[in-house]
Amino acid sequence: MATLTAGVTAPAFELVDQNGELVTLAGFKGRKLLIYFYPKANTPGCTIQSCAVSEALPDLDAAGVAAVGVSPDTPSAQKKFDDKYTLGFPLLCDTEHVMAEAYGVWGEKSMYGKTHMGIVRSAFLVDEKGMIQDVWYKVSPKDTVPNVQKAIQE
């Protein structure tokens, strides 16, 4: 699994969100963008992470940072997740894990002694010009927002 580092161009993406709207990296040009990847909507860690991002939206917005969450879930699963927790930002549907592979977060995981391929929970801060500013692979759900807040203060 190839990983990204700060200072490289963020891989472009075009995915639908929970509402069936097309979302692209180019659509955020001129703003910073938090992109975080999570394994599955409506699971405990993903809920903690997504709700923390949702609660931080006013502060992120004030700092010029937009947010998107990405998982391999379908639009209907993402919509149920958004409706249940009123998250208020795009949840991108990477059902073919094309974006996950481009960002180096699609990898082998192990659970109960069995290995499978899936999302390695990770987050990226993309700057106004589309460059990766910060990278957090294998991030804890609780650490996503504090990491981003620290990065935008520096």
Domain that residue 22 falls in? 14-143
Does residue 5 belong to any structural domain of this protein?
Answer: no
* Ranges of H-type helices in the chain: 44-62, 75-85, 98-102, 144-153
pLDDT of residue 105: 96
At residue 122, does pLDDT exceed 70? yes
Q: Does the residue 75 lie in any domain?
A: yes
Domain count, the chain: 1
Query: What positions carry a catalytic annotation?
Result: 46
Amino acid at 70: V
Q: Determine, yes or no, domain membership for 80.
A: yes
Is residue 86, in this structure, part of any structural domain at all? Answer: yes
Tokens 């977060």 sit on residue: 105
Average pLDDT of the chain, as a whole number: 95
pLDDT digits (tens, 9 = 90+) for 85-109: 999 999 999 999 999 999 999 988 8
Q: Where are the extended beta strands (E) located within the chain?
A: 14-16, 22-24, 32-37, 65-71, 91-93, 106-111, 114-119, 122-126, 132-137
* Cα–Cα distance for residue pair 117/119, rounded to 1 Å: 7
Asked whether residue 1 carries a pLDDT value surpassing 80, the answer given is no
In a domain? residue 28: yes
Question: Is the model's pLDDT at 111 over the cut of 80?
Answer: no
Please name the residue that has the structure tokens 């549907």.
93
Residue 115 has pLDDT above 90, yes or no: no
pLDDT (0 to 100) of residue 94: 98
Q: What CA–CA distance (Å, rounded) separates 3 from 10?
A: 11
In a domain, 136, yes or no: yes
State phi, psi for 90 to the nearest 5 degrees. Answer: -65, 135
Count of residues making up the chain: 154
The domain that holds 134 is classified in CATH as 3.40.30.10
Q: Is residue 43 assigned to a domain?
A: yes
- Return the pLDDT at 14: 97
The reply to whether 61 falls in a domain is: yes
**Residue 30: pLDDT over 90:** yes
